[in-house]
Amino acid sequence: MMVRSLRVAPEYIDKVKSALGRNGYHSQESLATHMDFSLSIVENFSTGKPVDYRNFREISENLGLDWQDIAYKEPEKSQPQTLSVEQQFRLEKKQNGLQEMWNIQQDKVHTIRQALSIEAGTTKKFQLEQEFKEENARLKTLEAELDRVEKKLKLASPTKIPENKVQASPLKSQQTNGEASPFITGAPITQPRYFFGREKELKRLFNLLKRHPLQNAAIIGKKRSGKTSLLHYLKNISTAPAEHLRPDQKSDWIPQENYRWIFVDLQDARMQSREGLLKYILESLKMQVPTPCDLDRFMNVVSDNLHSPTIILLDEIGVGLQRCPELDDGFWECLRSLATNHTGGNLAFILATPESPIEMARNTGHSSPFFNIFAYTAYLGVLTEIEARELIASSPIAFTDEDVEWILTQSCCWPLLLQILCRERLFNLEEGENDDNWREEGLRQMKPFTDLLDS
């Protein structure tokens, strides 16, 4: 179960209030201004009212508090209610669907909030504020409904779902954990628990980042090979709560306390102007944004204030080079100088691209030495068979050995193709169908991406 909002336990409210002054904040308003939060969020936090999970963690960290220690824990219920097997099965399916909807809506609200923090135009800012209110209201509605379903399940006596509800045909027995299906095909994977494989690449990348000076890296792979998902995993895995991960999923790649991660999607129009991108980086680092926010002032602010390990993840770098004239050689040269000479080894870049950075720069008419600093390259190909089998085994309903072998053969262990075929097989089982029509549909669905199979 994913926690969506948290509140300070009553016994820690006084500790929170004293932490304000101890950390240099003279009032709740000064903390809100520093973090670019609304005053109501900080007031709710300080008085023990629920606030968004991410905001709760960020405020706690700014006050030097352990968010897990001060968060209110619901007391255990001692008298369970009894649900029939059918009721429990329907509730669990409803919970999974609502959880997926809530995850998508939460990301949408977070994206709008980030856009608000960097938008300077009055008209656009007003539009974003209205959109934020509407989308946040939808999030709260989903949250309330999900809470009701989770409460019913939490209070219910454990019951065993009969075999015919778990399996549509004789299947190899497999224990499941009740989580929503991990088979995501239409968007990058942002939640670490749904990310599988790439262990070799992850070891090398994190080794480059856990010692000073931090070193730069490039992730190269075909379109739809999982480059963006890997960037999100790097950013999120070290700080993901244990309850949001798979059992025994590795998360201690690096010490997570000090690291800052900034994800930049250069397909986002707001990132395609020089000032917009520089402001976004400073806002993400919670540093003061100068006026005007030009390269000289940006360099001064970061050079003077960046004292902890920071990694900037550049996605769709080719878009930035091809379509963004303001991101010229002078811009990239300043970033190179900042990382190599002015931040004490605390700044590194990881970029994702379908070709080598040097070739990509040359092909787009750029000659900046920035693209020569990526000494390590992670090439994304297929998953290992062990990694592919682990992804398949994450299905809430176990597949037969025959189905597993067919999926491995047809996908050649490409993550996206594995996800598509597993999704179709799971749909088939959930509908109670006992035929092989899902295979034909799976091949049809993966046809637009079969260029992955070309050598």
Q: In the structure, what pLDDT confidence band is assigned to residue 164 with cuts at 50, 70 and 90?
A: very low
Residue type, 256: Q
End-to-end CA distance of the chain: 41
Structure confidence at residue 105 (pLDDT)? 76
Whether residue 171 has pLDDT greater than 50: no
- Tens of pLDDT, residue by residue over 271-321, are 989 999 999 999 999 999 999 999 999 999 999 999 999 999 999 888 888
**Pair 181, 420: CB distance under 8 Å:** no
What pLDDT is attached to residue 127? 84
Q: For residue range 344-370, what is the model confidence (pLDDT) as tens digits?
A: 999 999 999 998 888 888 888 888 888
Give 111-157 pLDDT, tens digit per residue. 787 677 677 778 888 888 888 888 878 877 877 787 777 777 666 54
What residue has token string 């930049």? 264
Task: Name the residue with tokens 């890296």.
Answer: 217
* Amino acid 287: pLDDT: 93
Cβ contacts of residue 244 below 8 Å, gap of 6+?
2, 191, 192, 193
Classify residue 322 by burial, with Cβ atoms within 10 Å: 0-12, 13-18, 19+: middle
Select the more confidently predicted residue: 264 or 33: 264
Nearest to 202 by CA among 447, 4, 384: 384
Tokens of residue 178, six digits = 């009740």
Higher-scoring residue by pLDDT: 138, 249 = 249
For β-strands 5-6 and 51-52, DSSP reports them as antiparallel
pLDDT at 215: 94
Would you call 192 helix, strand, or coil by DSSP? helix
Confidence band, pLDDT 50/70/90 cuts, at residue 40: confident
Mean per-residue pLDDT over the chain, rounded:
83
Residue of higher predicted confidence among 379 and 93: 379
Residue, of 339 and 147, whose pLDDT is higher? 339
To the question of pTM greater than 0.75 for the whole model, the response is: no
Mean pLDDT of 227-248: 91
Q: Which amino acid is at 31?
A: L
Higher pLDDT pick, 100 / 156:
100
Is there a contact between 411 and 388 (Cβ–Cβ < 8 Å)? yes
pLDDT classification of 447: cutoffs 50, 70, 90? very high
Residue 411 corresponds to which tokens in the numbers above? 């996908």
Q: Please spell the DSSP secondary structure of 161-172, one letter per residue.
A: PPHHHH-SS---
Model confidence at 380, pLDDT cuts 50, 70, 90, reads: very high
Per DSSP bridges, beta strands 260-265 and 217-221 are: unpaired
CB neighbour list of residue 56: distance below 8 Å, 6 or more residues apart? 5, 6, 7, 45, 67, 71
d(CA 129, CA 125): 6
- Residue 430's Cβ-side half-sphere holds a number of Cα atoms within 13 Å equal to 13
Q: 227-236 and 199-209 helices cross at what angle (nearest 10)?
A: 50
CB burial string 248-270: b at 16+ within 10 A, e below: eeebebbeeeebbbbbbbbebee
Residue found under tokens 């336990």: 9
What is the pLDDT at residue 175?
37
More confident call, 20 vs 392: 392
Check residues 163 and 106 and name the one with the higher pLDDT: 106
pLDDT attached to residue 139:
78
Under the banding of pLDDT at 50, 70 and 90, the label for residue 159 is very low
Take residue 45 and report the two structure tokens written for it.
């936090």
State phi, psi for 64 to the nearest 5 degrees. 70, 30
Res 442: pLDDT = 94
The arithmetic mean of pLDDT across residues 208-237, rounded, is: 93
> Mean pLDDT across the stretch 14-27?
85
Tokens found for residue 371: 């693209």
- Banded model confidence at residue 168, pLDDT cuts 50, 70, 90: very low
